[in-house]
Amino acid sequence: MDKSTIVCRCEEITVGDVENAIAQGAETFDDVKRLTRGGMGLCQGKTCRTVISELIAQLKGESVAAVPVPRLRMPLRPIPMEILAANQSGTSAMFDLLDQASRKERQEK
Amino acid sequence: MSREYDTIIIGGGIIGNGIAYHLSEVQSDGILVLDKNYPLSGTSGSTQAWIWIHSKSPSWYAEFSLYSAELYGYLQRKIGDIEFDRAGGISPFFTETEREQAFKLAECQAEVGIEIQVLNREDALAREPALSPKILGAMYSPADGNVNPMRLVEQYMRASKKNGVTFEYYNPVTGIEKQQGSFIVTTAKTVFRCKKLILSAGIWTRELGKLLGIDVPVKPVRGQIIITEPLAPLMKHTLSIMRQTSNGEVLVGNSQENAGIDRRSTLDVMIETANMAVKYVPDLAKAKVVRGFSGLRVMPEDEFPIFGVVPGIENLYVAALHSGITLSPLIGTLMTELITGGETSVPIDRFSITRFA
Ligand SMILES: Cc1cc2nc3c(=O)[nH]c(=O)nc-3n(C[C@H](O)[C@H](O)[C@H](O)COP(=O)(O)OP(=O)(O)OC[C@H]3O[C@@H](n4cnc5c(N)ncnc54)[C@H](O)[C@@H]3O)c2cc1C
């Protein structure tokens, strides 16, 4: 493959970009993703996952099976914010920065 | 045969890399950074990456954070583009109680030189038109901003390598011993020997400390984030629950959970986060969420940074803290001053690990 061949269409990442990442020590799809943004776009790696994993295997002289599989991220398909927000959740894990600041200021006194 | 270095840094996140880079500016060789995975696999690869100052409390901590923010422009000139954006920070509020809290906070922060304006609804909307008209007002500070954490770590590594630092990835530390003035650091692949040792392995610093009989009281606190598809420029500032990156995605999230070492996303928190997103910025309703991720905050017992020398074991240093993105250049600078035997340019006694004794 040519260095300029695009492997991740969403983020326009090329073979050369992936090679660079691997030269910097990246060994997995997730490593390459964080360095290049390949796989972070709209399709979330559905198109490029295999190609990038194969490139890693090739460059490292391993079999594709030896390259760890990437983590899949929820939601598996893009979903409008309002659909998520139309639901109510049972927990409250949220915190308020202003409230937290006031609490700490009081603790200090 | 063991390999020898002057200084070994365990943990190649934003903190370990920040220290390695700053140290490499004054000590050109003999530095090794070890990581059990690849550097962005820990907390530094799953963060909001705000450079956040104005609602840090108490004010001495906000002031400390401000010093670090001031270093960022200079850092970017030295190591290359890290997408540093001093966008200004906005914390919207919805109740009168919060408005009172905001005025009090602004007063405290003014004493240490941090400017906060408490805006009414109209002024807040004029400044950040994407905000909901239902807000009562907002705090605004020009001190805050954000950075791209992936670029930051990458540029730190590049600059450090140029300065002679060695990196070893996928090489976990499994044992540490002190023998005749040297540390023997055993890893999965090699045995290393060094004079000075720095523990900066995020939430795993506690485990490493145990190998030397010290307790570094940090625990993981999970935070979940959701990310939208790239959107046209929508918000200008770093908001207290979200920010838009330079390529258009919006990152939303401010959850805190004690979930141990568990980095899954959960639907209930994603739902809550989405509700919060549209409450603050109604235009986000139509935006598509493409991904959720979570990260584990490196949370010290009293929530303030733990860094500096470890008394009792000569040449041992520790750096484990939350808000590591905000504080990275300052921690790197101060640790370098300490390691090279100088006096720190800012007093750091209150961050000593001895406070937990
Ligand atoms: C959701 C979320 C949002 C956040 N938002 C912000 C924010 O807006 N602004 C801000 O300033 N901060 C924020 N933070 C905090 C910030 O991200 C952290 O303080 C920072 O990333 C910690 O960096 P670190 O280098 O200490 O840890 P890490 O990035 O976790 O690095 C530690 C490294 O040590 C390595 N390691 C562990 N054990 C071993 C071993 N035995 N041998 C070798 N290597 C080892 C790991 O592989 C890892 O790479 C946020 C955190 C979360 C989770």
Report pLDDT for B97.
95
For residue range B295-313, what is the model confidence (pLDDT) as tens digits? 999 999 999 999 999 999 9
Residue B220 has a CB neighbour count (10 Å cut-off) of 22
Residue B350 three-state SS: helix
* Residue B91, H or E segment: strand B89-93
The one-letter amino acid code at A71 reads R
Q: Chain B partners of A91 at a C-beta cutoff of 8 Å?
A: 268-269, 272
**Phi–psi pair at B163, nearest 5 degrees:** -85, 5
Query: What gap in Å lies between CA B13 and CA A13, rounded to an integer?
Result: 24
- pLDDT band of residue A99 (cuts 50, 70, 90) is confident
To which residue do tokens 């549209």 refer? B278
* pLDDT score at B29: 82
Q: Give yes or no for residue B1 having a pLDDT over 70.
A: no
**Searching chain B, which residue's CA lies closest to the CA of residue A43?**
B290
Measure the CA–CA gap between B145 and B228, rounded to whole angstroms.
Answer: 20
**Which site among B97, B289, B326 would you substitute to test the A interface, given the most A Cβ atoms closer than 10 Å to its Cβ?**
B289
CA dist., res. B324 & res. B299, Å (int): 10
Calpha distance B323→B61 (Å, rounded): 11
List, in order, residues 6 or more apart from A107 with CB less than 8 Å away: B58
Give the side-chain half-sphere CA count within 13 A for B140: 19
Interatomic CA distance for residues B82 and B149, integer angstroms: 8
Residue owning the nearest CA to atom 2 of ligand 1: B47
The rounded distance, in Å, linking the Cα atoms of B333 and B109 is 24
- Count other Cβ atoms within 10 Å, centred on residue B136: 15
Which residue's alpha carbon is nearest to atom 12 within ligand 1? Answer: B323
Nearest to B61 by CA among B296, B357, B346, B356: B346
Distance CA B44, CA A86 (A): 31
* Structure confidence at residue A87 as a pLDDT band (50, 70, 90): confident
From the list B40, B224, B270, the residue facing A84 with the nearest CB is B270
Instruction: Give, to the nearest 10 degrees, the angle between helix B14-26 and helix B149-162.
Output: 30
This model of the complex carries an ipTM of 0.86
Per-residue confidence at B34, pLDDT binned at 50, 70, 90? very high
Query: What confidence category does residue B283 fall into, taking pLDDT thresholds of 50, 70 and 90?
Result: very high
Q: Which residue has the tokens 């660079």?
A: A20
pLDDT tens-digit map of B2-20: 799 999 999 999 999 999 9
When pLDDT is cut at 50, 70 and 90, the band that residue A74 belongs to is: confident
- Which pLDDT band holds residue B89 (cuts at 50, 70, 90)? very high
Query: Residue A69: CB partners within 8 Å, gap ≥ 6?
Result: A29, A53
Atom nearest to B325 CA in ligand 1: 11
Tell me, in angstroms, the distance from the centre of ligand 1 to residue B297's CA. 7
> Can you tell me the distance from the alpha carbon of B181 to that of B312, in angstroms, rounded to the nearest whole number?
13
How many other CB atoms are there within 10 angstroms of residue A88's CB atom?
Answer: 9
Cα-to-centroid distance, B322 and ligand 1 (Å): 8
Helical H segments across B27-169, by residue range? 59-79, 96-111, 121-127, 149-162
Cβ atoms of B8 and B185 closer than 8 Å: yes
pLDDT at A90: 72
pLDDT digits (tens, 9 = 90+) for B300-357: 999 999 999 999 999 999 999 999 999 999 999 999 999 999 899 999 999 999 999 8
Q: How far is the CA of B349 from the centre of ligand 1 (A)?
A: 23
Q: Report how far ligand 1's centroid is from the alpha carbon of B13 (Å).
A: 6
Mean pLDDT of B85-109: 97
Query: pLDDT class for A96, splitting at 50, 70, 90?
Result: confident
Determine contact, residues B195/B30, Cβ cutoff 8 Å. Answer: no
Confidence of residue B28 (pLDDT cuts 50, 70, 90): confident
Per-residue pLDDT at A75 exceeds 90: no
Tokens in use for B73?
A: 């422009």
Q: What is the CA radius of gyration of chain B?
A: 21
pLDDT tens, B200-259? 999 999 999 999 999 999 999 999 999 999 999 999 999 999 999 999 999 999 999 999
Rounded CA-CA distance B154/B157 in Å is 5
Closest CA–CA distance from residue A82 to any residue of chain B (Å): 4
> pLDDT tens, B147-194?
999 999 999 999 999 999 999 999 999 999 999 999 999 999 999 999
Q: Are strands A79-80 and B288-300 parallel, antiparallel or unpaired?
A: antiparallel
Helix (H) or strand (E) holding B222: strand B218-228
Condensed to tens digits (0 to 9), the pLDDT of residues A2-47 reads 999 999 999 999 999 999 999 999 999 999 999 999 999 988 998 8
Identify which of A30, A42, A76, A24 has the alpha carbon closest to the alpha carbon of residue B156. A24
Nearest Cα residue to B160 out of B338, B15, B31: B31
Torsion B344-A105-B240-B138 (CA) sign: negative
Q: Do B242 and B252 touch, CB atoms closer than 8 A?
A: yes
CA distance B75 to B127: 28
Among the partner residues A26, A74, A102, nearest to B270 by beta-carbon distance = A74
Rounded to whole angstroms, how far apart are CA atoms B19 and B70? Answer: 17
CB atoms within 10 A of CB B163: 17
pTM for the model stands at: 0.95
Please, which residues have CB within 8 angstroms of residue B19's CB and are 6 or more apart in sequence?
B9, B198, B200, B319, B331, B332, B335, B336
Among candidate residues B286, B187, B249, the one with its CA nearest the CA of residue B48: B249
- Determine which helix (DSSP H) or strand (DSSP E) holds B316, and give its type and residue range: strand B316-320
Q: What is the DSSP letter of B230?
A: P
Residue in the structure block whose two tokens are 């506690």: B206
